[in-house]
Structure 1
């Protein structure tokens, strides 16, 4: 957790967003300062807490003066269930505005993406044990910060503010 030094560019993966559109991860990240979380829409334990966290961050980011646009991305890690309609329902459930998107990678890319985000070579657990960290990217699509599990909204906003100034 903390500052990622040196910053890391994740391998590009194809994602399907909440509208059903295929998008490259790099296309979603470039030109935006991004806070990203991993969720699965069928989760009833920590994922609703993560949705509430992003809702709180969303309420605060409109107050941040920035050089680059700020955005939130929820990445579904259960490609078999995190369909575009499920992702749309997730966003609706937490009153997501236009700066909050959701997408899911293909089945073959989900574990590779989770491993890259974690920064650890250790094997991943099942999705029920997924990370509750927030990952912040600069406007060049570089991973710059990993939070502790379930960080405070103010901490995420502080990192976004710092990344949006550079």
Structure 2
């Protein structure tokens, strides 16, 4: 009987230690920003929210808009490459990619569906979000991701962050990476594996 309680106590300490380790892993990342929720509609017209997509999954997010004439096309192509690398590493069930439109008035679900179809991508773990107001997305980007999301005056273009953002399963923004030219894919995969 005594042997069983020693084994149970050892198992419990290992369980508690594993919990502490995952929290300590988050502490080792440079950013620790609570990400708020964002109610949205995805490219398939389904109602969703960032917290729903984040539930039980690590999120890699970026900000885009479909009329973008500079950085969004390479960023989306790079996210498609990242999706493939995540699949090759056997991590696709643990990761949710999220591209958040900063131009919700133009970027309807239909527009986002057409835009996403230009890339070799899988809907299963990559959502393109819209369905909120411009004020909501500006505030959300500023507060939760510490990045701008504002229309350029007198233009159909928007200023927005060009990073890929790593969000833990606990909804905490931990790190950002270059999203436009030469994203550090291997570093992203390593960071994801640290959080598993």
Question: What interval of TM-score do these two structures reach, taking the shorter chain for normalisation?
Answer: 0.7 to 0.9
Normalised to the residue count of structure 2, the TM-score between the two structures is 0.72
Q: 1:9 to 1:62 in 2, by over 3 A?
A: same
Tell me the C-alpha RMSD between the 2 structures: 2.4
Distance 2:95 2:161 in 1: 22
Distance 2:76 2:178 in 1: 16
The match for 1:146 is 176
Greater share of residues in strand: 1
Q: 1:117 to 1:158 in 2, by over 3 A?
A: farther
The match for 2:128 is 102
1:137 aligns with 2:167: yes
The match for 1:3 is 29
The match for 2:143 is 116
Misfit runs of 4+, over 2 Å? 2-5, 63-68, 116-120, 123-129, 148-163
The number of equivalent residue pairs is: 160
Q: Which has the higher contact order (CA 8 A, sep 6+)?
A: 1
1:71 aligns with 2:96: yes
Distance 1:67 1:48 in 2: 23
1:20 aligns with 2:50: no
8 Å contact 1:53–1:153 — kept in the other structure? Answer: no
Q: Which moved more, 1:97-106 or 1:25-34?
A: 97-106
8 Å contact 1:9–1:142 — kept in the other structure? Answer: yes
The match for 1:155 is 187
Q: CA deviation at 1:114?
A: 1.3
8 Å contact 2:34–2:171 — kept in the other structure? Answer: yes
Q: What stretches of structure 1 of length at least 5 have no aligned partner? A: none
Report the structure number with the largest CA radius of gyration.
Answer: 2
Deviations 1:106-145 (CA, angstroms, capped at 9, x unpaired): 113110111024426xx75535321111111112222111
Normalised to the residue count of structure 1, the TM-score between the two structures is 0.83
Q: Which moved more, 1:96-105 or 1:70-79?
A: 96-105
Q: 1:67 to 1:103 in 2, by over 3 A?
A: closer
Distance 2:187 2:131 in 1: 27
The match for 1:92 is 117
Q: 1:4 to 1:89 in 2, by over 3 A?
A: farther
